[in-house]
Amino acid sequence: MENEIIVGLDIGTTKIACFVGIRGENGKVKILGFGKTDSKGVEHGVVKNVSDTADSIRRAVSDAADQADVDIDEVYVGIAGQHIKSRPSQGSVMIPADHRLIEQEDVDRLIKEQYNTLLEPGEEIIHIFPQQFIVDREPLGREVSPVGVPGKNLMANFHMVTANVQNLQYIKYAVQDAGLKIKGVVLEPVASAKAVLDDSDRDAGVAMVDIGGGTTDIAIFHDGIIRHTSVLPLAGNAITNDIREGCNILKRQAESLKVKFGSCLVQAVSENDVISIPGIRSQAPREIYVKTLAGIINARTKMILEQVDYEIKLSGFDKKLIAGVTLTGGGAQLKNIKDLCELITATDTRIGIPNEHLEPDSVSFAELAHPMYATGIGLVLYGLEQAEASHDDSRDEEQEPAAETKSSDAASKVDIFADMGMEPSEDPTPASEAIPEKADKKEKRKDKKGNFEETVKLFFGKVFNEGIDD
């Protein structure tokens, strides 16, 4: 397979970033181009002004395309916002009589049928995550695939994620106005998790918390499966606004104070440290105590993390998170946020940085190895996985004609008689002598019936003759 180029577009509340990447030699993602611009027209992860958002997208994509020296026409887009909802779902399908074992097409059919689930008006399904498969009322273990299991009924429990149709449409409009097509829409915490977690984290149990500008995104994994997702409407911008109002300063000054001098723990700063803020025009400089700044940041960050803790408990996996909590996103750069998170959740916490899945020779590696770029790099990883899965499916389809003989009537007959502990009475009918595909269905049934009756007579005749000889 050619090393396909994937483009991820992170439409955030504070920034819009575009990432152009390929699969590196060691399996990591290699970023070929990167572009970032201030986000306009987006509030709490939702596109409000399509034209302004399209302009920001256009600038970010243009910078990334120039750096990577490629033309960009399709992108994977992240989606967040308070309109994102999740719910449990369950479905089942009957296995066709001609399937001796459950096949991949049966699993695909079961998942596809979940998209017909009755939703609230204005909702659309964006992800369906299987939780557990059940065959003939017998639950399968996590390591057991339903494909290849004998059974008549396949059932599964799902975690379903939905989004508001109108908000999805606004994203589509903005991307289209920027001259692009959407190749896939991905829930942002799902993308971020791909950039900052590994298989051991997902197996052990982990809560991935992405604190962005407008939303805090949560994805909880256990036994390698995503179990719970949630999007909270509070994040870094709320902290900045609190500083601006509490200290009566400009927003850009508040953001700078937060990043350079802010702390999530009041007890971690000095009582007497003072920051001097330049006054506007002829006004005198304003002095702000670092302890006052820390108190403002602590109050809002504590509120956000308490809601995170509530979501973790709501998932029912709060006692199963062996890998603890992983914080990422721009908000994860706040000083002492790891310590505050451990105090509130009573769970081990680390800061998730996307460098573990990033090729060292990627462009702007030092800049990209930052929590705020987890979603964008995760979108590229997601797209690469989709491209590789599609390639594998295409390869399987090319090999399918050779595999079809295994499911022919003759081959099935051999398997049935093998289960009886005896050989078939005659060799399978050669393919050249098989009934033409367009032959009359009635004739097919008649021939099959005749073959079956002859086999039965031979079988019972053999039994009776053996009894007479004895």
Q: pLDDT digit string (tens) for 52-64?
A: 999 999 999 999 9
State the Cα–Cα distance between residues 127 and 29, nearest whole angstrom: 23
The two tokens of residue 296 are 């403002």
- CA-based nearest residue to 60, from 93, 35, 27, 94: 35
Query: How much is the mean pLDDT over the chain?
Result: 85
pLDDT band at 205 (very low <50, low <70, confident <90, very high): very high
Q: Quickly tell me which residue has 């820390």 as its tokens.
A: 294
Rounded to an integer, what distance in angstroms lies between the CA atom of residue 462 and that of residue 176? 73
Domain ranges across the chain: 1-73+355-405, 85-163, 200-352, 408-464
Give the per-residue pLDDT at 410. 34
DSSP character at residue 116: G
What is the crossing angle of helices 290-315 and 251-261, to 10°?
A: 80
Task: Say how far apart CA 31 and CA 37 lie, in whole Å.
Answer: 17
Per residue in 283-327, pLDDT (tens digit) is 888 899 999 999 999 999 999 999 999 999 999 999 999 999 999
Model confidence pLDDT, tens digit, residues 35-55: 999 999 999 889 999 999 999
Contact 187, 84 (CB under 8 A): yes
Give the type of residue at 438. Answer: K
Return the exposure string of 142-163: e unless at least 16 CB atoms fall within 10 Å of the residue's CB, then b. eeeebeebebeebbbebbbbbb
Confidence (pLDDT) at 391 = 73
- The answer to whether the beta carbons of residues 29 and 22 sit under 8 Å apart is yes
How many CB atoms neighbour CB 397 within 10 A? 9
DSSP structure class, residue 279:
P
The pLDDT score that the predictor gives to residue 289 is 94
Q: Are 362 and 31 in contact (CB under 8 A)?
A: yes
In this prediction, residue 271 carries a pLDDT of 87
The answer to whether 343 and 302 have CB atoms below 8 angstroms apart is no
DSSP string, 221-268: EETTEEEEEEEES-SHHHHHHHHHHHHT--HHHHHHHHHHH-BS-GGG
The answer to whether 56 touches 175, Cβ cutoff 8 Å, is no
Residues β-bridged to residue 222: 225
* Tens digits of residue pLDDT in 408-453: 333 333 332 233 333 333 444 443 344 344 344 444 444 444 454 4
- Contact between residue 39 and residue 16 where contact means Cβ atoms under 8 Å apart: yes
In 3D space, the residue among 64, 18, 67, 58 whose CA is nearest the CA of residue 40 turns out to be 58
This prediction has a pTM of 0.80
**Quick one: pLDDT at residue 1?**
52
CA angle centred on 165, ends 159 and 170, rounded to 5°: 125
Domain at 1-73+355-405, CATH from 1.25.40, 3.30.420, 3.20.16, 3.30.450: 3.30.420
CA nearest neighbour of 216 among 194, 199, 197, 233: 233
pLDDT for residue 399: 57
Tokens of 172: 């589509």
Q: Which CATH architecture has domain 85-163?
A: 2-Layer Sandwich (3.30)
Q: CATH number of the domain at 200-352, please?
A: 3.30.420.40
Q: What is the pLDDT of residues 156-173, one digit of tens each?
A: 999 999 999 999 999 999
Contact 360, 382 (CB under 8 A): no
Percent pLDDT > 70 in the chain is 83
Q: 1-73+355-405 and 85-163: same fold?
A: no
Helices marked H in 274-321 — which ranges?
A: 290-315
pLDDT band at residue 470 using 50, 70 and 90 as cut-offs? very low
The confidence band for 400, taking pLDDT boundaries of 50, 70 and 90, is low
> For 22-36, what is the mean pLDDT?
92
- φ, ψ for residue 24 (rounded to 5)? -75, 170
Residue 393 — very low, low, confident or very high, per pLDDT cuts 50/70/90? low
Identity of residue 59: R
DSSP string, 148-182: T---SEEEEEEEEEEEEHHHHHHHHHHHHHTT-EE
Q: Which tokens belong to 428?
A: 């399978």
Dihedrals φ, ψ of 373, to 5°?
A: -105, 15
Dihedral sign computed on CA atoms, order 163, 165, 167, 170 = positive
Q: What is the mean pLDDT of residues 364-369?
A: 91
